C-alpha cells in the first residue's frame, strides 16, 4: 500500500493538498516539512516576510472553500486584533481586501484545524517546522527526501508533493541600498530618506513602496474624507520613483459576478476543438474566438478600439493606447472613481469581464503552441490578461494618489534598452536609458516572482538523475514542407502530466508532483495565487488517492 506522503511546504498549495488528501478512504501517513518556524501560512503571508501595510490581492469571496470563510473567521476576531490592522468590524465584507498578515493568521488556523481532523478520519499527520528539504532522490525503495534542521536526516516516501511556493533571491542586497526583491519587508525598513527607485509598478512594487512610505510617514484621512500622506520629521528628503516599460499603474479592482459566468463564444469546447486540430494556426484561430467574445459582450468597446482589424500581435497596442497617452495618476484617479461607482451600482464593465472569463480558457492552448506562436503569445497578448486579473485593492490606489499629491511619488516610463548600474557607487543604483540617467540613493527590484526552469530546482540529485525535465515546445513546421517531421525543444519550466507528476525520459517513473507555481509558469502563465493553489492541490491529492487505491487492489489480488 503506497500510503506514505510527503508535502514540502505548508502554504496554501500544501494546505489545499492536505484538505483533499484527508478525503481518502484508506489511511494515509502524511509528513509535512516547512522551512519556516511557523507552519500553515506560506511565504506571501508570513510575518517575517511581510509588512502590515502590504495588502492581499484576493477577497474572501474568491478564496476556495475551507471549513470557515475568511469573513466568518474575521468576525470572530477580537476588537484588539481588528484594530491592530485598522479593520472596522462593520466594514468586514466578502469583497474587501485585507493585509497579507491577516490572511496568514487565517490560513494557519485553517491548517491546524485540518491537522486536528486527520486522526478522526483515520489518517496520521506529522508537521516539521524549521525543517528545510535540501535534496530528493528517486530510489528503488521509493523517494528519498533529505532534510536539514538541527541535524541532517532522510526518510523514504511513496509520494512527494513539491509545494514550495515562492523562490526569492537568497541575497537580499546586491550591494548597500540595492535590494534584489520587495521581500522580506523588514529589510526595507532601513530606507528612511533620500530618493528611492522601484523597478516595477505592479502590486509587488506597490507593496514595497508602502512598506517604505509607512516607515517614513503616515497615511491620514483629512476632514473631507480624502486619504493624505504626511512625511515624518526624520524623512523630509524621502521621495520615490516607480518605473516600468509602459510607465503604467495597475487598475483598480472592478466589480464582476463570482464565480465566473461562462463565455458565449470563446468556450472551453470551442478552444478544445481548435487544440485537437494541431498547433498550425492555433494562436490566431483562438484569437478570432476571443475577438468574437468581446464583440458580442461590448459592441461599443469593440468599435472604439477598431477590434475587427486587430490581430493577436496588435491587440495589446490598442488595449493600452488611451492609458499610455494619459498621465498615469490622472488615469488612476479616474479609473478608481469609475470602479467605486460600479461597485455601488453592482455594474460590470462588459469588455473587462469578457477578458477575465476567457483568460484561463485561452491559457489551455499554451502547451500546444509551436515555438513561433509561443513567442508571439508571450510578447504582448499574455500581458492583457495579466493586466485584467492583476487589478489591485482600491486602498492601494488611494495610497499611491496620496503619495503623489504630497509630492513624494513619480512614475517613470523606461525604454526597452534601460540598464541598471552600481559602478562607482557606495549606495543605491543608477538607471540609464537612452539620453538620460537617474541616480537613486536606494533601489528595489520589485518585479515579482518570475518563471523558473527545471535546472533551478533546489534538489541537486533529482536534477542530476533526470527525474525532472524542462517542458518541451514544438518547433514551427515550414508550410512548404508538409512531410517535415515535428520536433521539439525544451524551453523552461518543469514538464508535468495532467496530474502534475514530473515527466522523465522514460515516462512517469516516479510519484513526484510539481505543485510549485514558479516551475509551472512557463507553460501555465496564469497559474497564480490562492485559487490556482487550490486547483493544483485538489488534482494532486486525487491522483495520490487513486494511485493508493490501485496499489491496494493489486496487493489484494496478489495475496
Tell me how far apart the alpha carbons of residues 106 and 71 are, in angstroms, rounded to a whole number: 10
The answer to the question of residue 209 being in a domain is yes
Q: Residue 480: what pLDDT?
A: 43
DSSP for 56-124? PS--GGGSPP-SS-HHHHHHTS-HHHHHHTT--GGG--TT---BHHHHHHHHHHHHHHHHHHHGGGT-E
Q: Are residues 435 and 492 in the same domain?
A: no
What tens digit of pLDDT does each residue of 188-235 get? 988 999 999 999 999 989 999 999 999 999 999 999 999 999 999 999
Helix and strand numbers, DSSP H then E, in the chain: 16, 21
Q: Are residues 114 and 191 in the same domain?
A: no
Instruction: Give me the tens of pLDDT residue by residue for the chain, a chain 559 residues long.
Output: 689 999 999 999 999 999 999 999 999 999 999 999 999 998 889 888 888 988 998 999 999 989 999 999 999 999 999 999 999 999 999 999 999 999 999 999 999 999 999 999 999 999 999 999 999 999 989 999 999 998 999 999 999 999 997 766 666 777 888 998 888 888 898 899 999 999 999 998 999 999 999 999 999 999 999 999 999 999 999 999 999 989 999 999 999 999 899 999 999 999 999 999 999 999 999 999 999 999 999 999 999 999 999 999 999 999 999 999 999 999 999 999 999 999 999 999 999 999 999 999 999 999 999 999 999 999 999 999 999 999 999 999 999 999 999 999 999 998 778 888 886 667 888 888 877 888 999 999 998 777 888 888 999 999 999 888 888 776 655 444 444 445 555 557 899 999 999 987 765 567 999 999 899 988 888 888 899 999 999 999 999 999 988 777 766 666 5
Q: Which of 377, 412, 445 is the last residue of a domain?
A: 445
Same domain, 296 and 244: no
Shared domain check, 118 and 11: yes
The beta-carbon contacts of 551-559 under 8 Å, at least 24 apart in sequence, are 551/1, 551/2, 552/1, 552/26, 555/1
How far is 406 from 5, CA to CA, in rounded Å?
54
Is residue 29 helix, strand or coil?
strand
Residues 520 and 378 in one domain: no
Which element (helix H / strand E) includes 372? helix 371-376
Cell output for 542: 486525487
Task: Check whether residue 434 and residue 461 sit in a common domain.
Answer: no
Query: Is residue 11 domain-shared with residue 145, that is, in the same domain?
Result: yes
Same domain (yes/no): 193, 244: yes
Q: CA geometry: angle at 206 spanning 439 and 109, to 5°?
A: 140
Residue 205 lies in a domain: yes
Instruction: Decide if 531 contacts 546 (C-beta within 8 A).
Output: no
For residue 346, the enclosing domain spans 268-389
Is there a domain that residue 259 lies in? Answer: no
- 255 in a structural domain: no
* Residue 228 CB burial class (10 angstroms; 0-12, 13-18, ≥19): middle
- At 424 the pLDDT is 64
Same domain flag for 541 and 407: no
Last residue of a domain, one of 363, 389, 415: 389
Say what the pTM is. Answer: 0.91
Reading the block at residue 344, the C-alpha cell is: 455601488
Task: Tell me how far apart the alpha carbons of residues 511 and 458 are, in angstroms, rounded to a whole number.
Answer: 18
Considering the domain architecture, whether residues 125 and 49 belong to the same structural domain is answered as yes
Cis link prior to 259 (omega < 30° from 0)? yes
Please indicate, yes or no, whether residues 115 and 26 belong to a single structural domain of this protein.
Answer: yes
Does any domain span residue 552? yes
Q: CA 27, CA 68: separation in Å to the nearest integer?
A: 25
The span from the CA of 494 to the CA of 529, in Å, is 19
The rounded distance, in Å, linking the Cα atoms of 110 and 119 is: 16
- CA distances (Å), origin 107, targets 44, 67, 102, 532: 11, 11, 9, 15
**pLDDT score recorded for residue 422:** 80
Domain presence at residue 258: no
| Residues 437, 359 share a domain | no
- Which residues 6+ apart lie within 8 Å of 140 measured at CB? none
Number of domains in the chain: 3
Q: Dig out the grid coordinates for 472 from the structure.
A: 518541451
Task: Quote the crossing angle between the two packed helices 350-363 and 282-297, to the nearest 10°.
Answer: 160
Distance CA 208, CA 448 (A): 11
Q: Residue 236 contacts by C-beta under 8 Å, 6 or more apart in sequence?
A: 193
CATH classification at residue 230: 3.50.50.60
State which of 342, 371, 389 marks the end of a domain.
389
Gap between the Cα atoms of 518 and 453, Å rounded:
8
Residue 256 falls within a domain, yes or no? Answer: no
pLDDT number for residue 142: 92
Q: Note whether residue 182 is domain-resident.
A: yes
Amino acid at each position: 500500500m503506497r500510503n506514505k506522503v510527503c508535502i514540502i511546504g505548508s502554504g496554501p498549495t500544501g494546505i489545499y493538498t492536505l484538505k483533499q488528501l484527508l478525503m481518502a478512504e484508506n489511511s494515509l501517513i502524511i509528513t509535512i516539512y516547512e522551512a519556516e518556524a511557523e507552519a500553515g501560512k506560506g511565504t506571501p503571508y508570513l510575518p517575517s516576510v511581510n509588512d502590515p501595510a502590504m495588502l492581499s490581492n484576493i477577497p474572501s469571496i474568491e478564496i476556495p472553500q475551507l471549513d470557515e470563510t475568511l469573513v466568518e473567521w474575521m468576525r470572530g476576531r477580537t476588537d484588539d486584533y481588528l484594530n491592530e490592522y485598522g479593520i472596522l468590524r462593520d466594514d468586514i465584507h466578502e469583497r474587501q481586501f485585507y493585509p497579507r498578515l491577516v490572511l496568514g493568521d487565517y490560513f494557519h488556523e485553517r491548517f491546524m484545524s485540518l491537522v486536528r481532523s486527520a486522526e478522526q478520519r483515520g489518517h496520521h499527520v506529522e508537521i516539521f517546522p524549521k525543517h528545510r528539504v535540501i535534496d530528493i532522490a528517486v530510489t528503488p525503495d521509493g523517494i528519498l527526501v533529505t532534510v536539514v534542521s538541527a541535524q541532517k536526516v532522510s526518510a523514504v516516501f511513496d509520494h512527494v508533493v513539491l509545494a514550495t511556493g515562492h523562490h526569492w533571491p537568497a541575497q537580499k542586497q546586491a550591494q548597500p541600498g540595492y535590494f534584489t526583491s520587495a521581500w522580506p519587508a523588514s529589510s526595507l525598513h532601513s530606507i528612511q530618506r533620500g530618493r528611492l527607485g522601484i523597478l516595477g509598478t505592479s502590486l509587488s512594487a506597490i507593496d514595497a513602496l508602502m512598506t517604505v512610505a509607512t516607515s517614513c510617514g503616515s497615511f491620514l484621512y483629512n476632514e473631507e474624507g480624502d486619504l493624505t500622506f504626511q512625511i515624518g520629521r526624520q524623512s523630509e528628503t524621502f521621495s520615490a520613483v516607480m518605473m516600468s516599460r509602459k510607465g503604467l499603474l495597475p487598475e483598480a479592482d472592478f466589480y464582476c459576478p463570482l464565480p465566473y459566468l461562462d463565455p458565449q463564444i470563446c468556450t472551453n469546447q470551442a478552444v478544445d476543438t481548435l487544440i485537437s486540430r494541431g498547433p498550425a494556426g492555433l494562436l490566431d484561430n483562438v484569437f478570432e474566438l476571443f475577438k468574437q467574445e468581446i464583440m458580442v459582450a461590448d459592441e461599443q468597446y469593440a468599435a472604439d478600439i477598431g477590434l475587427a482589424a486587430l490581430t493577436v500581435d496588435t491587440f495589446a497596442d490598442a488595449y493600452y493606447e488611451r492609458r499610455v497617452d494619459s498621465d498615469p495618476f490622472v488615469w488612476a484617479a479616474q479609473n478608481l472613481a469609475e470602479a467605486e461607482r460600479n461597485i455601488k451600482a453592482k455594474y460590470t464593465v462588459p469588455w473587462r469581464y469578457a477578458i477575465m472569463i476567457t483568460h484561463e480558457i485561452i491559457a489551455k492552448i499554451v502547451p500546444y503552441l509551436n515555438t513561433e506562436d509561443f513567442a508571439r503569445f508571450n510578447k504582448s497578448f499574455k500581458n492583457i490578461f495579466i493586466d485584467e486579473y492583476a487589478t489591485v485593492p482600491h486602498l492601494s490606489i488611494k495610497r499611491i494618489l496620496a503619495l503623489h499629491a504630497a509630492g513624494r511619488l513619480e512614475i517613470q516610463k523606461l525604454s526597452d534598452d534601460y540598464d541598471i548600474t552600481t559602478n562607482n557607487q557606495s549606495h543605491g543604483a543608477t538607471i540609464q536609458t537612452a539620453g538620460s540617467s537617474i541616480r537613486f540613493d536606494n533601489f528595489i527590484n520589485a518585479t515579482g516572482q518570475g518563471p523558473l526552469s527545471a535546472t533551478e530546482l533546489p534538489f541537486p540529485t533529482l536534477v542530476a538523475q533526470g527525474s525532472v525535465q524542462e517542458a518541451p515546445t514544438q518547433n514551427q513546421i515550414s508550410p512548404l514542407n508538409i512531410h517535415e517531421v515535428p520536433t521539439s525543444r525544451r524551453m523552461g519550466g518543469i514538464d508535468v502530466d495532467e496530474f502534475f507528476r514530473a515527466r522523465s525520459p522514460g515516462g512517469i517513473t516516479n510519484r513526484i508532483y510539481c505543485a510549485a507555481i514558479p516551475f509551472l509558469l512557463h507553460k501555465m502563465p496564469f497559474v497564480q495565487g490562492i485559487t490556482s493553489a487550490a486547483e493544483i492541490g485538489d488534482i494532486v491529492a486525487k491522483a495520490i488517492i487513486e494511485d493508493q487505491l490501485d496499489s491496494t487492489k493489486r496487493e489484494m489480488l496478489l495475496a
